[in-house]
Amino acid sequence: MQGTESALTVRHAPRGAASAAIITLHGGSELSHRVARPWQLAALRMHPVLRAAAVAAPGDVLLGRVRYRHRGWNDGDPAADALRALDELRRRVGDAPTILVGHSMGGRAALRSAAHPLVRGVLALAPWCPPQDSARHLDGVRLVVLHGDQDRVTPPAESADYVRRARDAGAEAGMVVVGGGDHAMLRRIGDWHRATTEIIGQMLQVDPGADGLTAEACAAEGAVHL
């Protein structure tokens, strides 16, 4: 796949102007220059996640996903693809506020690209948050990390540290822990999807208010547990 090809795949486009957009970013591997394909398990895993997010979205919200060039993080390839996708999205929807929903490597890419002007919020699912990644660019962004406490691939402790650093940078950030949840989001799958629906619905609101899972997580000293 060449870099000139589209980095954005649209799954649902409203008939009129879009009021907002929800964009998913799937996982991958640390190093791989193999071509990313939409039928890979990591990409397929995000289909029910997007459906869960769509439950919270009115019909005038655009739904889509980032199309990666490579399966690996390499030197930040998925984050560069996410920024290209957001630029394409902006040409399509103007300044419609956008929520990024990323899993694992896709969570890292979503967080890395959250400084883009379209991004209002990020829902990071079992994200890869290595200590060297900065959170200083997240001032003004709503961020919720949803992480299983039985994840053996991406450490929940690194997500908790990233949330703390994001708060210090000025983000409205919080963490929700899925008790017994694994990296693949299969254990307690219904809770993963219900939490996704609730958090996305609250992020789409201009003023999310003081109630709900997002507000609870962002106000908590530590993490909220499901």
Output the tens digit of pLDDT for each of the chain's 226 residues: 444 689 999 999 999 999 999 999 999 999 999 999 999 999 999 999 999 999 999 999 999 999 999 999 999 999 999 999 999 999 999 999 999 999 999 999 999 999 999 999 999 999 999 999 999 999 999 999 999 999 999 999 999 999 999 999 999 999 999 999 999 999 999 999 999 999 999 999 877 666 899 999 999 988 999 9
What is the reported pLDDT for 102?
98
What is the reported pLDDT for 210?
67
What is the reported pLDDT for 187?
97
What is the reported pLDDT for 10?
97
Using a CB cutoff of 8 Å and minimum separation of 24, what contacts does 10-14 make? 10/62, 10/63, 10/64, 10/92, 11/50, 11/63, 11/64, 11/65, 12/54, 12/61, 12/62, 12/63, 12/64, 13/62, 14/59, 14/60, 14/61, 14/62
What is the reported pLDDT for 1?
40
What is the reported pLDDT for 5?
84
Residues 14/63, Cβ–Cβ less than 8 Å: no
User: Which domains can be identified in the chain, with CATH numbers?
Assistant: 8-225 (3.40.50.1820)
What is the reported pLDDT for 205?
87
What is the reported pLDDT for 2?
44
- The pair of structure tokens assigned to 216 is 């609870």
Residues 57/69, Cβ–Cβ less than 8 Å: no
What is the reported pLDDT for 8?
97
Selection from 179, 169, 23 nearest residue 107 by Cα: 23
Sheet holding 119-125, edge to edge: 8-12, 61-66, 20-25, 98-103, 119-125, 142-148, 172-178, 224-225
Neighbouring residues of 196: CB distance < 8 A, sequence distance ≥ 6:
49, 52, 53, 101, 123, 125, 146
What is the reported pLDDT for 3?
45
Residue 3 C-beta-side C-alpha neighbours within 13 Å = 6
